[in-house]
């Protein structure tokens, strides 16, 4: 995990330009009666890649440049549970030439405050050889509206 945490003040639902719904599953909960911490990272990955596929209208797995996750982090603020949907808020902290830094909020219920705040970094590399390469135009166009000022 990174020692770089998202901004110290907690964002609210309104701070995320995109909200995506994920349905929790029976297997998401652990023996302690809450969604297990590793599942949060699956929600991050599912929300980001689902958004990219839908907003670009293409199968991002088929692009010449692919986004590899090089860093993730999560600040847990309260438990998530089953059965209840999770809304995943997406924003972009930084859109670089070859990388994208996402801030992700996990929300459950009506609370405007997130249950968790994540950091998720994609670095784009060539499919063959894995050399760092620019973010594909389709991806850049899709995430540009999510960039925070």
CATH at 133: 3.10.129.10
Q: Is 5's pLDDT higher than 80?
A: no
Contact 147, 95 (CB under 8 A): yes
User: What does the pLDDT average to over 92-117?
Assistant: 97
First to last CA, the chain: 25
Top-confidence residue, 6 or 141: 141
Is the peptide bond prior to 83 cis by the omega test (within 30 degrees of 0)?
yes
Q: Is 9's pLDDT higher than 90?
A: no
Cβ contacts of 131 within 8 Å, gap of 6 or more: 125
Give the global pTM: 0.90
Q: Is 3's pLDDT higher than 50?
A: no
Q: Which domain holds residue 104?
A: 13-146
Residue 87, domain member (yes or no): yes
pLDDT, mean over the chain: 93
**DSSP codes, the chain:** --S--S-SSPP-GGG-SEEEEE---GGGB-TTSSB-HHHHHHHHHHHHHHHHHHHHTS-GGGSSEEEEEEEEEEEE-S---SSS-EEEEEEEEEE-SSEEEEEEEEE-TT-SS-SEEEEEEEEEEETTT--B-PPPHHHHHHHGGGB--
The dihedral formed by the CA atoms of 93, 96, 98 and 100, expressed in degrees to the nearest 10: 10
Beta-sheet strand order (sheet of 99-107): 18-22, 86-95, 99-107, 116-126, 65-76
Residue 91, domain member (yes or no): yes
Residue 7, domain member (yes or no): no
Residue 138, domain member (yes or no): yes
Residue 3, domain member (yes or no): no
Residue 133, domain member (yes or no): yes
Residue 79, domain member (yes or no): yes
Closest Cα partner for 134 from 71, 63, 72? 63
Residue 4, domain member (yes or no): no
The total number of structural domains that make up the chain = 1
pLDDT in tens, 103-114: 999 999 999 999
């Amino acid at each position: 995990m990174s020692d770089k945490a998202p901004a110290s003040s907690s964002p609210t639902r309104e701070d995320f330009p995109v909200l995506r719904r994920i349905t929790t599953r029976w297997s998401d909960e652990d023996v302690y009666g809450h969604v297990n911490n590793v599942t949060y990272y699956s929600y991050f990955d599912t929300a980001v890649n689902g958004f990219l596929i839908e907003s670009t209208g293409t199968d991002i797995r088929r692009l010449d440049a692919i986004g590899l996750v090089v860093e993730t982090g999560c600040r847990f603020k309260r438990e998530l549970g089953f059965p209840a949907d999770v809304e995943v808020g997406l924003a972009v902290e930084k859109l670089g030439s070859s990388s994208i830094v996402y801030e992700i909020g996990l929300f459950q219920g009506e609370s405007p405050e997130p249950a968790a705040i994540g950091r998720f970094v994609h670095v784009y590399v060539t499919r063959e050889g894995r050399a760092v390469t620019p973010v594909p135009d389709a991806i850049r166009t899709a995430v540009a509206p999510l960039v925070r000022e």
